[in-house]
Amino acid sequence: MIRFWRKSNPIRRTLEAYADSRPLPEAAPENLTRVLRVENEDASIIEDARRRLAVIGFTMVIAFGGLGFRAIELAFTGSEAVATIPAQAEARRGDLVDRNGQVLATTLETWSLFADPQLVWDARETAEALVTVLPDLDVDELTADLSSRRRFVWVQRNLTPRQRQAVFALGMPGLEFRTEPRRVYPRGRLAAHAIGHASRDMDGLAGAEQAFNSALTNDGGRPVPLSIDMGVQFHVDEVLRRYMAEFQAQSATGIVLDVETGEILSLVSLPDFDPNRAGEAASGERLNRALQARYEMGSTFKAFTVALALEQGIAEPGETFDATNPLHVGGYTIEDFHAENRALTLAEIFTHSSNIGSSLIAMEAGADAQRDLLQRLRLLERAPVELDESASPLLPRHWGPTETATISYGHGIAVSPLAVASAFAAIANDGVYVRPTLRPVRPGETVAGEQVISPEVAQGVLDLMREVVENGTGGRADAPGFRVAGKTGTAEIPTRGGYDEDRLISSFSAVFPYDDPQYVVLVILEEPQGNASTYGYATGGWTAAPAAGEIISRIASILGVEQEDDPLARSALVRAALTPDPEPVVRPDE
């Protein structure tokens, strides 16, 4: 084809003449046909070349795109795909607030440090430099991580702004930052067990964080309110810390319940932990004793035995039970802590806390009736609260006469403190059991309950509980102006082969005000030690009862309970303040 386009070619001259509109030779039509055919062949070749170039270009785009994608993948995963950068949470985790809107748990954005070992120049040098600004790191472990073939390793997460700036100032290659959410608990230890804590990946691990994880995660970041009143929580916590230290107790538990709604207004378990540093807490500090611990509650259970007697019609007015001598049942001997050595009425059995009298009542009622009552009060099952920590009770394998007798005064069965508090709330609530809850009840909201004992039986037990505070073992729980009703409890801790009489669980279960029951307060001290102020006694009446009384005096105004204007009570307080301590008159205790 090239030979047609030499300068001397006649066809070229003919086309040039045609382009200049010059007259063509007579042979032009034949030559022109030939030229057009040549042009068509040339255009076809060019079009084929363009198509080939387009295919080649498209292929190269796909190839380089694949290579680019693979390069990005390798940058994050490494050749062995050992680690990947965790995906950030799509939605912000909602706050936890108390019933008054105080923030208990919230989420903040923080910086986390990671490394690409393939870009780290010297693993040892980098690790040693990082430890100078992040002293919690381990040089050897970090050196091993930075020497690996991976492309991503965490160094330390949730840095403070100052820590991030210090790392940045090092200028070490291969180190990068990313923002991550961090769960923060502004109140620290206060209500730690009720609030719980969440993992670094924003998953609830305990307490309300776990129980309401779905609402916190999927409710558009809206706050989730709890029934806890932080004002009440503060006073219960402060009183229990002081009494725990004063009596050198191993632990302390405090619960405040609304008897009509079942709302948990305060839940204290000591020792506790800081949920901001939950990973550093010992297992004993993370244990929520209000729900997870199971205690033999001692004479506290005599309130349920009195309810059994009234329900079964066992103790008619004037009827007595012979507590003159110790009781022998199934090879065991049952004695009273401070024996009256005489026949006792039902009221005397309760106020003097007689183990012998309680056993006689329970055995007359029978194991089936006793078990049925305790079941209705939800004492033979886990407390039905939202928290997963709620533990099932420890029940006897065989419920015979011996077990019936010992359970009547709180031995041979171990239950959680919340289960006990909820049972007392039923007594205070005219015999209606309401499930305990950590969610607040809205004003005007109807709360479903179950009538588990008759109002008459409930009132009878409540009357005797008031008598315990006025004239029995619970006198130190009396809060002037609030008419407290309650029951002391002291139980020896079971050990292999029996009970250790030197290790006690001391408790007090209170209801106030007696005339219009609204709240239950339960206090438990584990292994308290008597001191000079208690004349060496460590029983519930000497240790837990005064703690409960002080708590009631402090929180009543917060809860809107008005103090009665009692001139006699005021004068008694004045006399007590001005008069030296008299010689002790030891009241019968458990």
Q: Which residues are tagged catalytic?
A: 299
**297-332 as b/e: b if 16+ CB within 10 A:** bbbbbbbbbbbbbbbbebbeeeeebebeeebebeee
CA distances 549 to 203, 376, 484, 521, 533, Å, are: 39, 29, 8, 9, 16
Quick one: CA torsion of 467, 473, 478, 482, rounded to 10 degrees?
A: -30
DSSP 460-520: HHHHHHHHHHHHSTTGGG--TTS--EEEEEEEEEEETTEEEEEEEEEEEEEEE-TTS--EE
Residue 95 near residue 224, CB atoms below 8 Å = yes
Distances (CA, A) of 438 to 290, 315, 386, 429, 435: 13, 38, 7, 19, 10
- Can you tell me the distance from the alpha carbon of 380 to that of 375, in angstroms, rounded to the nearest whole number? 5
Cβ proximity of 488 and 548 under 8 Å: no
Report cis status (omega within 30 of 0) of the bond before 513: yes
Secondary structure class of 225 (helix, strand, coil)? strand
Give the span between the Cα atoms of 483 and 501, in whole angstroms.
33
Half-sphere exposure at residue 503, Cβ-oriented, CA atoms within 13 angstroms:
11
Q: What crossing angle do the helices spanning 455-471 and 302-312 adopt, rounded to 10°?
A: 140
The rounded radius of gyration (Å) of the Cα atoms in the chain is 40
In angstroms, the CA 345 to CA 350 distance is 9
What CA–CA distance (Å, rounded) separates 526 from 543?
A: 10
DSSP state of 158: E
Of 502, 505, 508, whose CA–CA distance to 523 is shortest? 508
**Cα 423 from Cα 411, distance rounded (Å):** 17
Cis upstream peptide for 271 (omega within 30°)? yes
How far apart are alpha carbons 381 and 393 in whole angstroms? Answer: 6
Q: Choose among 301, 297, 240, 296: nearest CA to 266.
A: 240
Report the alpha-carbon distance of residue 462 to residue 487 in Å, rounded: 10
Rounded CA-CA distance 514/36 in Å is 117
Q: Are 413 and 423 in contact (CB under 8 A)?
A: no
Q: Which long-range contacts (CB under 8 A, 24 or more apart) does 86-91 make?
A: 86/201, 88/178, 88/179, 88/180, 88/181, 89/181, 89/201, 89/202, 91/217, 91/218, 91/220, 91/221
In angstroms, the Cα distances linking 117 to 136, 229, 401 are 20, 50, 71
Hey, what amino acid is at 300?
T
Instruction: List helix spans (H) across 429-471.
Output: 455-471
